[in-house]
Amino acid sequence: MAISIRLSRRFSGNAPDRSNRVGFRRSVCGWLVVSFLVGGVNLLYARGADEEFARARYDLLQELNTDRLEYQVVPGAVVAPDIPESQRSVLGAYVRIVRDIVIDLPRRYLDEEERTAIAVSELRRRRGAVSRQIDERKREIDRERMERETGPDASVPERDGDTRLRALYDQRDVLDSIAAEDIEVPEEAHLSVPAEDEYELRWTLSTAEPTSRAAEADLFLYLTVDPLDELYVVTVRLAVPVLDSDREVLRIIAAPDTIPLQLERYSREIVHEVANRPVSDLFISASDADGNAVEEARLYLDDELVGIGSGRNPYVPAGTYELRGVTPDGRTERRPVAVGEGEQLRVALLFPEEAPREITITSNPRGASVYRGVVWQGFTPVQVPRPPQPTPYTLSRDEYYDSRVEIGPDSPDIVERVLISREYDWETETKISRDRFYRSFGWFALSVGVPIILYGTYQDYAGLYPGGVARGDISAAEQQRLQREVNTVFYGYYGSIALSGGLFANMIWRLVQYVQTAQGYHTR
């Protein structure tokens, strides 16, 4: 309003007075203050809403992203509409064989298509759940309005009219902002097969189509059986509901009593389809250099225990692995194993000749008692088991100092310790050795300054011969005398260096003697 008045007066030729200018400025300032406050509040609200939305989206993604995915494999029905009821008793054995083939399969490897389908399915499930909650809340609000008969006639409530409804709409908006590519689905799913008592055998022998049951499992294996004269045509099919796929895995045409053998023979095809990747059958054994089995060796494939003495893993995907074997006495052997696709491998882990299982501990003089901790082992010489890890032993004999020794898996077959008589004054010897080291160190420290002094003296004499020529104020006789003195200082300098080197070597030797004497007392 103030701006329009100001412009009209200008064009009409009337000069505005001072009061009008003041009123105009106040109006403009007030308008600016109100605009700033309203805009600031809206900006803060928008920023808060954006932050809240981003936090909700982040939390939901953290919930959707998982490090472990579980798949349930159900060996399902036998679809056999043309098999007489009297001949169906054998069909249950077919299902049990298929179940035994996949029951130990650890995982299914998921390709990009299946991971995307899992993400899409999870988003669809959550959106459907939220939509149902929204519809239910709308119906509740409509019922409340009808009961009160005070609300508007509209059957669909406004989004902001109800706090719970608004929260559900916000939750749906967050779900709509997330795409399947935003969800991190693991590259493998851990498989499990339900126990037989979790689904009835009567159902597995029914003739009903298994599609409805397939929706309750992540992977659904079922068989179709059709008679062909005196033979059966058995088809193994795999349904993956998340991919909306139902494909044939294996077809066998054989006599009814030979079908179980054929299923076991072609079990690799079933494993391949369920695992979604070709896997190999790996058999591992441990043996020594003579070919004898090392039955107590624990065998690992990439830190996963396969067996003891021998083992088998029929579900190894292609790749390079480390085979490791560990015996109870601590011996460890490793070797790499390269596994291809769909192979059957036998790998032997060779252990070198076994070291003697016992170690002989002896002493000089003999007859010392041997203790492992506080447990007496016998008198020297005595045989003790070779331990898998370093173990301390103590040798004790009257009139001799105790001697400690450490026995380990790499110790020699015979370990001997020389016992020191108690008549030997170890403390005095240590003190004497220490004093000898201190004296040698003192002499070396004193000798260090001699070469420095002689070198400085030599430089002083060199100043009398600038450029290698004697100064003119020095007589010939004086030059001869100075030459003899310079030579004496020169040879004395190198002699002092040699003396310091000898004293340094003597100091090191005394130090080694001191350390050996002191260490011998503590580790005797």
**CA 142 centroid distance within chain:** 55
pLDDT in tens, the chain (524 residues): 333 323 233 333 444 454 454 454 555 455 555 555 445 444 444 455 678 888 888 888 888 887 788 888 887 677 777 777 777 777 778 888 888 888 888 888 888 898 899 889 888 888 999 899 988 888 888 888 887 765 555 444 555 567 888 888 888 888 888 888 888 888 888 888 887 655 544 444 454 455 545 557 788 888 888 888 888 898 998 888 888 888 898 899 999 889 888 888 888 888 888 888 888 888 898 888 778 888 888 999 888 888 898 888 888 888 888 999 998 877 888 889 888 887 888 888 888 765 567 899 999 888 899 999 889 999 989 999 888 888 999 999 988 888 888 888 888 889 988 888 877 766 777 888 888 889 999 998 988 888 888 888 888 777 777 666 666 677 778 878 878 888 888 888 889 899 999 999 999 998 988 887 776 655 55
User: pLDDT by residue (tens digit) across 154-172?
Assistant: 444 555 567 888 888 888 8
Measured in whole angstroms, the distance separating CA 122 from the mean position of its chain's CA atoms is 28
Query: 458, 451, 459: which is closest to 499 by C-alpha?
Result: 451
Closest by CA position to 161, among listed 142, 136, 133: 142
Structure-token match 């055998």, residue found: 201
Per-residue DSSP letter, 187:
S
**Dist. CA 497–CA 485, nearest whole Å:** 19
Distance CA 395, CA 409 (A): 19
Read off the pLDDT of residues 411-435 as tens digits, 9 standing for 90 and up.
Answer: 888 998 888 887 776 677 788 888 8
- Tell me the two tokens of residue 499: 């003396």
8 A C-beta contact, residue 205 and residue 78: yes
What is the average pLDDT score of the chain? 79
Contact assessment for residue 237 and residue 249, using Cβ atoms and an 8 Å cutoff? yes
Give the angle subtended at the CA of 60 by the CAs of 58 and 62, to the nearest 5°. 70
Q: Cα–Cα distances in Å, from 416 out to 347, 373, 381, 412?
A: 42, 18, 9, 10
Residue closest to 249 by CA, chosen among 270, 233, 278, 263: 270
Going from the C-alpha of 249 to that of each of 55, 70, 104, 215, 223, the distances in angstroms are 46, 22, 19, 19, 10
What's the CA gap between 162 and 171, in Å, rounded? 14
Please provide residue 71's backbone torsions phi and psi, each rounded to the nearest 5 degrees: -120, 135
Residues 6+ apart with CB under 8 A from 74: 193, 194, 199, 213, 216, 217, 219, 220, 221
Beta-ladder partners of 119: none
Whether the pTM exceeds 0.75: the reply is: no
